[in-house]
Amino acid sequence: MPELPEVETVKNELFPLIVGRRITGMTLVWEGIVKELPLDEFCSRTVGQEITAITRHGKYLFFHLSNKDFLLIHLKMTGSLIISYESPEPVKFIRAIIHLDNATSIYFRDPRKFGIMRLVKDTAAIREKLGPEPLEESFTPQLLAKRLTNRTAPIKALLLDQKFIAGVGNMYADEVLYAAKINPWRPGGSLTRPEIKRLHHEIRRILWAAIENKGASVDTYFRPDGSEGSAHYEFKVAHGLGGETCSVCGGPIERVVVRNRGTYYCPGCQPLR
């Protein structure tokens, strides 16, 4: 959290507000947010540059700069990018401010200080470490089946592995597996062809629906205008927001731990075969 739908929402809503704008200043409230480069070099290579585009891959945001650098931002667990900060919350949650030439600023809000900012010359090295984008046309049931072949790890763990598939996190993995009626403990390689087809369909359906609802504000995620997303109102099991009983069979929703990650599922609809 934020996961693919939240990061995609941030990208979509920032695009018309910042593309074509020039960075006039960089305030690093918490210097630890910048990784790898010395702070003076980071600032000198960003200040004065125009933001020519903004793209996303997995949970990463890339600000394309006019000097051909890419400003990489990862919101991690609690980050948000807010274009106009008006909140009674403590200023200590703001870790960096990107000042633009139209008298607006992008505030990097991150209560737990997990978010990062980096400058890279090429995004290929980062993209190559990530699995396929689940919303691209190249992500087919056949590709998913190939990637699941001989995999012994639980399917829940595989969905969370960013090298297996990019962008899916804990919330949406639970929702996907519930909708596909697949037990989170099932070894990935044990899924049948019909199950893989169903899983593929639900991954895309649930992610697209969450984007349409502007992401899920279950904890610390905010949209760039400071408002909340509403995708969590559609949750059936994730984060325990779907209720204590299954809306399909009436059985109890249970919480278990799969590879150190809290997992919600319905034993009645998702039996371990």
Any catalytic annotation for residue 3? yes
- Give the three-class secondary structure for 60: strand
Active-site hit among 205, 234, 261, 267: 261
Q: Report whether 51 contacts 18 (CB < 8 A).
A: yes
- The CA-atom distances, in angstroms, between 63 and each of 73, 120, 121 are 8, 10, 12
Residues 6+ apart with CB under 8 A from 159: 165, 168, 173, 176, 177, 203
Mean pLDDT score, 69-87: 88
Tell me: the pLDDT tens digits for 127-149? 999 999 999 999 999 999 999 99
Q: Parse the chain into domains and list their residue ranges.
A: 4-128, 141-265
Q: Which pLDDT belongs to residue 243?
A: 78
The mean pLDDT value for 163-180 works out to 97
CATH class of 141-265: mainly alpha
Is 163 a known active-site residue? Answer: no
> How would residue 78 be classed by pLDDT, with cut points 50, 70 and 90?
very high
Q: Is 2 an active-site residue?
A: yes
- The reported pLDDT for the residue numbered 240 is 84
Q: Report the percent of the chain where pLDDT is more than 90.
A: 90
Cβ partners under 8 Å of residue 227, min gap 6? none
Q: What is the pLDDT of residue 220?
A: 83
Three-state DSSP at 150 gives coil
Nearest by Cα to 135 from 11, 18, 241: 11
Does pLDDT of 67 surpass 80? Answer: yes
Q: What angle do CA 60, 133, 254 make, to 5 degrees?
A: 90
Average confidence (pLDDT) over 84-109: 81
Span of 16-25, 226-235, 237-246 with lowest mean pLDDT: 237-246
pTM equals 0.94
pLDDT at 103: 85
Asked if residue 100 lies in contact with residue 22, where contact means CB atoms within 8 angstroms, the answer is yes
Active-site annotation holder among 13, 56, 59, 134: 59
Residue 123 reports pLDDT greater than 60: yes
User: For the domain 4-128, what is the CATH code?
Assistant: 3.20.190.10
Residue 158's CB is within 10 A of a number of other CB atoms, namely 23
252 is catalytic: no
**pLDDT higher than 60, residue 87:** no
Q: Is the pLDDT of residue 20 over 80?
A: yes
- pLDDT classification of 239: cutoffs 50, 70, 90: confident
* pLDDT over 60 at 88, yes or no: no
